[in-house]
Structure 1
């Protein structure tokens, strides 16, 4: 950001050249008055922003009523900065909340993986049992009709699914919620450890 310092007496005569004016003085009175800026603006085509960085203020607040002038003092600048900071903080909080939610989902998914070997093993064993009993039943019925065999097979699959899906989903949910005791009980119930060692 470039610029050349000039004396205050030179500012108003060349007012039309400036788009932004920073006022930072220790004067105990309004150095930039409404009258001065009104006269200077008569020869200026565009607008101007005046930033009063003085404390106490040295730009007359009436200057803000002049057409084309945007006046901001230290308090207004501080308020604007605070609003921007709050907006950014809110965005950060929103992002943090999203991350926190996703972390919870990820943690639940990771915990659910603990139950998958058991669930997979149970479904595998039940499917083997279903297939074995189905073949026995078909032999007893001496059924040869492919359509009827298909219907019976689909029926046995539906029955098995309806019986097993609920307890398996409950086991998965318990694992997601961090309840290893439920998983351990289910492993004993379905003799999972014994089969795991046998493999």
Structure 2
């Protein structure tokens, strides 16, 4: 057992040296690509067009399975991004099929897809997956809700059998890394989610919350996190919850001690009596419209702040033209993002260090897999040479003299070494010579 552990440690040390150039890793992921539309490549008005809600994720996976050039894939869609990690032997064909998927499934235009998407490959793609799961690539840095979304997407991908062993390994390790970051740093404690960032922003620009009436639209996870953070900030003057499902509203009223709940049909009248609206529903389109509000608006001089953290957005963009109405969407949270980065610089460094350690562990695992595959191919090739030579040299005899055995074995060895020696002479590089010396201990 001790000997095995020593050998394992030695093996890992040797692999660590090899992965300095990451040659073996690149070999393993050479046909793996990432298609991404995210908060760095596209504004929220574009990102929402690519959005695939959680309840549609299974269907999206099933649709994408119809494209035969995609050997395996992983779909992730959050407030900040829609991404498809995919394996294809032909990059151009794979990208064309993903483009066709978005055109046929979401009705997008090809020029929109091409203008706002980007492709990431190689080790940069692996590190990106770790940063996404850990919340380090989020608009609100360190937010923890994305980890839950990655886990959900991973679970659905497993059920739909869309992952190969490499993608399995990538997302198993990225989830493990994210959990470690949330445990060992304070990043997620500083700003836990998009919802909490929205409440912080509301407190900054429209607060203090204790003096304001707040309406929360929705009864899902985003709304729940918003209500939790209102309590954490010390509560509000009044909190109202609206949702189309009355039983969910009752649950929220009991759990978060909201002041009252009203039917969704009364939303426009209720907006006259609040200072802040938090829109966090799962609707796939706008549900609150400026012209409808203006019809029943009592006091145009009264200031109203609306924070739309839904994806796709639930609030009509025409509100930006309405007097004394301040509409902010997910991209407005950049203010909180910048503040979080400044206040969590040490935690950010620690998180990046953890990601570096965990990606190196992944490189080792991928390198092991690559070496194991190489060893298998090497054994198969040498066995093929041995069996073919043996059949050819011994087909007419059952017994052999010592000299004949000597000739046969020399012939087999010469054939096995012929190609490596030829390539070594052609290369004439010290690096390859040293590798050969290390392999054969000469």
Superposition TM-score tier, normalisation by shorter sequence = 0.3 to 0.5
* TM-score where L is the length of structure 2: 0.19
> Which structure is higher in strand share?
2
Say which one has the larger Rg.
1
